[in-house]
Amino acid sequence: MSTGERAADTGPWAEQVNALGDFIRAQRQLANLSLREMASLTSVSNAYLSQVERGLHQPSLKVLRSIADALSLSTEQLLSEAGWSTAEPTAPAPEPEPAATGTEDAIRADPRLSDDQKAALLGVLRSFVEGASPAR
């Protein structure tokens, strides 16, 4: 990606927006997520996510929270890693003990998902499971 694709402003604010976009892209790629998959997880369009990654848009806090959740990061970690926070990075929260016994239970128990998101994920899961042949 060339720097010509980014906003014409080259001041400190634009540099931070670009750094945030670069960090989000790197984390998405490390998580092996396509833009389309990330869009599905965040309820943000893949076109908008692409523009955020290229430094063309400054996302709202709501969008940043969705992105952080999709990447299994805290919003503070996301902002700190991108240089947007003067606070010390917080240690990652300890992994909660798995309370659910199955995939459907895990989806239902995830506090980060709205009821509509849970219903959508359950529907997708069931469409895959019902159409799949038994493994081994």
pLDDT digits (tens, 9 = 90+) for 25-84: 988 898 898 999 999 999 899 899 999 889 888 888 888 889 989 988 888 887 777 666
What is the domain partition of the chain in residue ranges? 3-81, 96-136
Backbone angles phi, psi at 85, to 5 degrees: -135, 140
Cβ neighbourhood burial of 117 (10 Å; 0-12, 13-18, 19+):
middle
pTM > 0.85: yes or no: no
Q: How far is CA 123 from CA 58, 101, 126, in A?
A: 32, 18, 5
**What is the reported pLDDT for 49?**
92
In sign, the C-alpha dihedral spanning 119, 125, 131, 136 is negative
Determine the number of helices (DSSP H) and then strands (DSSP E) in the chain. Answer: 7, 0
The residue whose two tokens read 């700190």 is: 80
Name the percent of the chain lying above pLDDT 70: 69
CA distance 90 to 19: 19
**What is the reported pLDDT for 8?**
44
CATH among 2.102.10.10, 1.10.260.40, 2.60.120.10, 3.40.640.10 for 3-81 = 1.10.260.40
Kindly give the residue spans of alpha helices, DSSP state H, lying in 73-131. 75-81, 103-109, 115-131
**What is the reported pLDDT for 119?**
81
